[in-house]
Structure 1
Amino acid sequence: MAHVRDQWTKRNPDKTSQKTRIRSSRWGKGKRWLAVWVENGREVTKAFSTFDAAEAHCARVEVGQQQGTWITKDKRDITLEDLWDPWIKSKEGKAKSTVASYRSAWAHVAPVFGKTPICELDGPTITTWIDSLQSRRPHQKEAKPLGSGQKRKVGIVINALCTLAVKQKIIYDHPLESGDLVRQEKGKRRALRVSEVDRLLQAAPTPQAKLFVRVLLLTLVRPGEAKGFHVEDLDYRRRRLHVQRSVDQLGREGDTKNHLCRDVPVGGELLLDLEDECVGKAPTDPLLTDEHGNVWTTARWRRIWAQMCKDAGLEGVDTYTLKHTGVSIAIASGADVYAVQRMCGHADASTTLNIYGHLWDEGLDAVPNAMDTYLAAERQRDAARAQRRAERTARRDGLRAVPDAG
Structure 2
Amino acid sequence: MARVRDLWMTPNPNGKGKIRTARYGTGKRWLAVWNEAGREVSRTFTTRDAAEAAIAKVRTDQDSGTYIAKANRDITLREVWPIWWATKAGKSKSTRAGYEAAWKHIDAKWGGTACAQITRSGVAAWLPILTTTRGCKEGESKPVGEATQRKVGIVLGALLQTAVDERIIPASPMRKGDIPRQKVSERRYLSVAELDRLRDAAPGRHERLVVDVLTRTGVRPGESWGFQVGDLAALRGRLRVMRDIDQSGVVDETKTRRHRDVPVGGDLLLDLENATEGRARGEWLLTTASGEQWTAARWRNVWSTMVEKAGLGELDTYELRHTAASLAIHSGANVKTVQRMLGHASAAMTLDIYGHLWDDELDALPAAMDAHMKAERTRFTERRRKAEAEQGRNTG
Report TM bin, short chain: 0.7 to 0.9
> Which residue, out of 122, 126, 141, partners 2:123?
126
Larger Rg: 1
TM-score, reference length from structure 1: 0.83
Residue 128 of structure 1 aligns with an amino acid whose one-letter code is A
State whether structure 2 residue 107 is matched by structure 1 residue 110: yes
Residue 274 of structure 2 aligns with an amino acid whose one-letter code is D
C-alpha contact 1:225 1:243 (8 A) present in aligned 2: yes
Give the 3 Å change call, closer, same or farther, for CA 369–59 of structure 1 in structure 2: closer
> Which residue, out of 340, 348, 351, partners 1:350?
348
C-alpha contact 1:208 1:291 (8 A) present in aligned 2: yes
C-alpha contact 2:65 2:170 (8 A) present in aligned 1: no
Which residue does the alignment assign to 1:59?
A: 56
- Partner SS for 1:179: helix
Residue 83 of structure 2 aligns with an amino acid whose one-letter code is P
Residue 84 of structure 2 aligns with an amino acid whose one-letter code is W
Unaligned stretches of 5+ residues in structure 2 = 383-396
- Between the aligned partners of 1:58 and 1:80, the Cα distance in structure 2 is 27
Which residue does the alignment assign to 1:265?
A: 263
Residue 73 of structure 1 aligns with an amino acid whose one-letter code is K
Matches within 5 A, 1:68-147: 68-139=65-136, 143-147=141-145
Matches within 5 A, 1:4-403: 4-9=4-9, 15=14, 20-22=18-20, 24-25=22-23, 27=25, 29-39=26-36, 43-65=40-62, 68-139=65-136, 143-365=141-363
| Structure 1 residue 12, shift from structure 2 partner | 5.5
Per-residue Cα deviation, 1:355-388 (whole angstroms, up to 9, x for no partner): 111111144455678789x69x98xx99xx9xxx
- Between the aligned partners of 2:198 and 2:136, the Cα distance in structure 1 is 27
Residue 337 of structure 1 aligns with an amino acid whose one-letter code is V
Give the 3 Å change call, closer, same or farther, for CA 67–359 of structure 1 in structure 2: closer
C-alpha contact 1:95 1:256 (8 A) present in aligned 2: yes
- Between the aligned partners of 1:116 and 1:339, the Cα distance in structure 2 is 48
Per-residue Cα deviation, 1:113-152 (whole angstroms, up to 9, x for no partner): 0111111110121022112223442447864432332222
- Partner SS for 1:21: strand
Which residue does the alignment assign to 1:2?
A: 2
Percentage of matched positions with identical amino acids: 48
Per-residue Cα deviation, 1:273-300 (whole angstroms, up to 9, x for no partner): 1112112321111111223323222222
- Between the aligned partners of 1:360 and 1:135, the Cα distance in structure 2 is 39
Give the 3 Å change call, closer, same or farther, for CA 59–321 of structure 1 in structure 2: same
- Between the aligned partners of 1:348 and 1:313, the Cα distance in structure 2 is 36
C-alpha contact 2:7 2:23 (8 A) present in aligned 1: no
| Structure 1 residue 312, shift from structure 2 partner | 2.4
C-alpha contact 1:71 1:170 (8 A) present in aligned 2: yes
| Structure 1 residue 68, shift from structure 2 partner | 5.0
Cα RMSD of the aligned pairs, angstroms, is 2.9
**Greater shift in the superposed pair: 214-223 or 299-308:** 299-308
- Between the aligned partners of 2:137 and 2:281, the Cα distance in structure 1 is 43
- Between the aligned partners of 1:26 and 1:193, the Cα distance in structure 2 is 86
Per-residue Cα deviation, 1:160-199 (whole angstroms, up to 9, x for no partner): 1111111221111220122211122212111112232222
- Between the aligned partners of 1:154 and 1:334, the Cα distance in structure 2 is 39
- Between the aligned partners of 1:179 and 1:359, the Cα distance in structure 2 is 28
| Structure 1 residue 75, shift from structure 2 partner | 0.9
**Greater shift in the superposed pair: 297-306 or 71-80:** 297-306
C-alpha contact 1:2 1:61 (8 A) present in aligned 2: no
Which residue does the alignment assign to 2:386?
A: none
Which residue does the alignment assign to 2:394?
A: none
Unaligned stretches of 5+ residues in structure 1 = 386-406
- Between the aligned partners of 1:140 and 1:291, the Cα distance in structure 2 is 37
Give the 3 Å change call, closer, same or farther, for CA 238–83 of structure 1 in structure 2: same
Residue 122 of structure 1 aligns with an amino acid whose one-letter code is T
Give the 3 Å change call, closer, same or farther, for CA 368–36 of structure 1 in structure 2: closer
Give the 3 Å change call, closer, same or farther, for CA 5–368 of structure 1 in structure 2: closer
| Structure 1 residue 237, shift from structure 2 partner | 1.5
Residue 311 of structure 1 aligns with an amino acid whose one-letter code is K
- Between the aligned partners of 1:199 and 1:364, the Cα distance in structure 2 is 31
